Amino acid sequence: MTVSFSDEDAAAEHGDAVRLLGYTVVGAVAGPTGQAAAGSDPPTADFLVSQALLEAHPAWWRALAGQASRTYSLLLGPVRMAVAEILDLHRPAPARRAGARPRPVQRQPPPRG
């Protein structure tokens, strides 16, 4: 699981605490909030959690999701497009590039039985 922040100020303020909790911080999407316009959205942390982790730890996931202002399933194509910039931060560093599109979800065929 990885965590990104909406800006560098939020990453600087909360990154160490998130790391101490055992999460991997991958960076910030935008610049510092010092020049943000009044009334802009508050800083956020974005957690990228795999489906396997959700299924392995349902109580933890319910607790985390219960504190979230929003949650999305990346199985939904429009969501992947809407959060593409955030998802790019969560890729391993060699796979990142400016303007990169998120990798498509690899679906496994159903087992034959």
Which pLDDT score, from 0 to 100, does residue 32 have? 56
Which pLDDT score, from 0 to 100, does residue 27 have? 85
Which pLDDT score, from 0 to 100, does residue 12 have? 92
Q: Give a yes or no: residue 23 inside a domain.
A: yes
Q: Give a yes or no: residue 112 inside a domain.
A: no
Q: Give a yes or no: residue 91 inside a domain.
A: yes
Which pLDDT score, from 0 to 100, does residue 37 have? 43
DSSP category for residue 90: T
Q: What is the pTM of this model?
A: 0.61
15 is in which domain, residue-wise?
Answer: 2-30+44-95
Q: Give a yes or no: residue 39 inside a domain.
A: no
C-alpha span between 8 and 12 (Å, rounded):
6
C-alpha span between 17 and 19 (Å, rounded):
5
Q: Give a yes or no: residue 76 inside a domain.
A: yes
Q: Give a yes or no: residue 113 inside a domain.
A: no
Q: Give a yes or no: residue 67 inside a domain.
A: yes
Number of domains comprising the chain: 1
Which pLDDT score, from 0 to 100, does residue 76 have? 64
Which pLDDT score, from 0 to 100, does residue 17 have? 93
C-alpha span between 55 and 34 (Å, rounded):
39
Residue with tokens 């960076």: 27
Mean pLDDT by 10 residues, the chain (113 residues): 88 93 85 49 85 90 88 71 73 57 42 55
**Quick check: 26 and 90 in contact, CB under 8 A?**
yes
Q: Give a yes or no: residue 75 inside a domain.
A: yes
